[in-house]
Amino acid sequence: MVNIIWVCLTVIGILFAMVNGTMSEVNEAIFSGAKEAVTLCIGLISILVFWLGMMKIAEEAGLLNKLSNLFKPIITRLFPEIPHNHPAMGYILSNMMANMFGLGNAATPLGIKAMEEMKKINGGKSEASRSMITFLAINTSSITLIPTTVIAIRMNYNSASPTDIVGPTLIATICSSIGAILIDRFFYYRRSRKG
Amino acid sequence: MGIVTAISLWFIPVLIAVILLYGTYKQVPTYESFVEGGKEGIKIAVSIIPFLVGMLVAISVFRASGALEYFMGFLKPTLEAVGVPPEIAPLAIIRPISGTAALGMTSDLMAQHGPDSYIGRLAATLQGSTDTTFYVLTVYFGAVGIKKMGDALKVGLLADLVGIIAAIVVVTIVFGY
């Protein structure tokens, strides 16, 4: 699946450039795209190191377990495959919290850790498990309490009340998260019926 | 509103203090643990570089060649039929593919229509309520070495669609057209 999408994006782009006369833009895009990716990853190092360091302390102190105990009823229903008291629960929850508070930077390392733990549960296979897909669905629909970047942009353009979209964003985000969970369930049951 | 802003400002520092104090109380070797966990961070950051380079180059090429614009032309009537305003359609299409491009479009829409217009508010809500599905997919699955993504992309993109529709409905109800 990834392979096909990846090849299609690139090859269609190149074929398009031949017809469209945008070869020089494409040439530039190859290098700027690669550079952007590396810059992004380098930027991630500082945050990853800091947050994974902090979370290690939290994990060893038992804070992550406490957190997952608190929200256990919801999480066990969303992720029935994950055993109780598994560290994955704690990481999933901390990732969701970070997302809610608009801390996308802090959310990424926690999400990666959660994925790592879920892969362990799945026997280290290179195939996405049911819980991974659920987690991804929730993540891409991201429950946001405070959309900080958007508020900043609105302030830039002299909005009369930059924060008045907070309420609507919250409602929309809750709808999309519920939608994501339902869609995920639908695909799961379709898969399991197939065998 | 002040409370929400205050929470977001205080959240991280307070969280750090709580973790450090609790760790000390539980006699965790805090500094050593921090370093231990941090080492993992470097490994992860370096290991996702190839995944992101591959994906971002493909997306950049697709966008720069004009192919993205061309395909948007096809998708636009469909989106408009569902009720997506024509000004918003490109943003709705690009949001799951490229975070930076979407952010640029959102600012552009606000500059053109004003941040307090229907379009401006809708763009803001859309930007805030969905995420860059391709990025999340590449980074999370790339970092832990998942090759078969199953239904993940389909589920993610359909969830984005729900988010877009929800944003339009909510903004129309709350602020009026």
Each residue's pLDDT tens digit, A161-179:
887 888 888 888 888 889 9
Q: What is the pLDDT of residue B24?
A: 95
Are B148 and A1 in contact by the 8 Å Cβ rule? The answer is yes
Tell me the per-residue pLDDT of A86-118, one tens digit each, with 9 for 90 and over.
Answer: 888 888 988 887 777 666 667 888 899 999 999
User: Within a 10 A sphere around the Cβ of A191, how many other Cβ atoms?
Assistant: 13
Is B19 part of the contact surface with chain A (CB cutoff 8 Å)?
A: yes
Of A17, A141, A157, the CB nearest to B111: A157
Give the 3-state secondary structure of residue A8: helix
Tell me the per-residue pLDDT of A27-81, one tens digit each, with 9 for 90 and over.
Answer: 999 999 899 888 878 877 887 788 888 888 988 898 877 877 788 788 888 899 8
* Segment-wise mean pLDDT, segments of 10 residues, chain B, 177 residues: 62 86 94 92 84 85 88 81 81 82 83 89 87 85 86 88 89 81
Q: What is the pLDDT of residue A39?
A: 86
Which residues of chain B have a CB within 8 Å of the CB of A56? 33-34, 36-38, 40
Of B53, B66, B153, the CB nearest to A22: B66
pTM: 0.78
| pLDDT reading at A83 higher than 70 | yes
User: Which one-letter DSSP state was computed for residue A83?
Assistant: P
Which residues of chain B have a CB within 8 Å of the CB of A101? 7-8, 11
Q: Which of B171, B92, B115, B172 is nearest to A167 (CA)?
A: B171
Q: Report the chain B residue with the minimal C-alpha distance to residue A43.
A: B45
Q: How far apart are CA A70 and CA A177, in angstroms?
A: 21
Q: What is the pLDDT of residue A157?
A: 85
Of A126, A171, A184, the CB nearest to B155: A184
Q: Which of B118, B155, B169 to mutate to test the interface with A (most CBs of A within 10 A)?
A: B155
Q: How far apart are CA B126 and CA B103, in angstroms?
A: 10
- What is the dihedral angle through the alpha carbons of A44, A46, A50, A53, rounded to the nearest 10 degrees? 80
Is B61 part of the contact surface with chain A (CB cutoff 8 Å)?
A: yes
Q: What is the pLDDT of residue A2?
A: 67
Amino acid found at B132: T
Which stretch of DSSP H or E encloses residue A49? helix A23-61
CB-defined contacts A:B, below 8 A: 363
Q: What is the pLDDT of residue A102?
A: 62
Provide the chain B residues 112-151 that lie in CB contact (below 8 A) with chain A.
114-116, 120-121, 124-133, 136-137, 139-141, 143-151
The CA-atom distances, in angstroms, between B174 and each of A166, B85, B89 are: 12, 17, 20
Q: Report the chain B residue with the minimal C-alpha distance to residue A122.
A: B146
Residues of chain A with pLDDT > 90, as a percent, come to 27
Q: Report the chain B residue with the minimal C-alpha distance to residue A161.
A: B116
